[in-house]
Amino acid sequence: MVNDEIKDVSVEESKEVVETPVEEAKETSEELKLKKIIEEVLPSEEVEEDKKEEEKEKKVKKLSQKDYEKKVIELADSGLTSEKIGQKLRDEGIHPNDYEGKISKILGDKYINADLKNVEDKFVKIEKHYLNNKQDKRAKREKDRIFSQIRKIKKYFGIEIIKKRNMKKVRK
């Protein structure tokens, strides 16, 4: 009877000894997982300091209206359309809504309609391809279709429409 009690105790003790390290190992792995999650969710102090420094750099003193207009004209001279000028200004921390007048109004005569410019650029590329590849019938059709788009846009915006040149070969 005494031996039975000793055996039971030793079995119980052995179970505890075996289970304890495994449980501790599980807890430590779970704790590690939680720590990783917390680090991902809650940024460290260094990251927060870096963000604060970036925000300070992004904050730009507000320009005067004249300086803003000069900046817009400079960007237009570099060949950007009004939509790209607005995007570039926002990237620099200058928001166009903070100033009077639209970018297109500030540019005046220098203003180029972005829709028209994009379609004309596409037309030039296709026309160049077609001149080098006369056998390409799809390019010919595409060129005609794009030219039609240009005419529609010019008509909508009230821009003078220049007639299309006759591209047909003259037979000798």
Q: Is pLDDT above 90 for 166? A: no
Q: How far apart are the C-alpha atoms of 128 and 85, rounded to whole Å? A: 28
pTM of the model: 0.50
pLDDT in tens, 63-108: 788 888 888 889 888 888 888 888 898 888 888 888 888 888 888 8
pLDDT in tens, 9-49: 555 555 444 445 555 555 677 777 777 777 776 666 666 66
Sign of CA dihedral 24, 30, 33, 35: negative
Structure tokens at 42: 């809650």
Half-sphere exposure of 26 (CA within 13 A, CB side): 5
CB 73 within 8 A of CB 104: no
Q: Is pLDDT above 70 for 149? A: yes
Would you state the pLDDT for residue 139?
A: 95
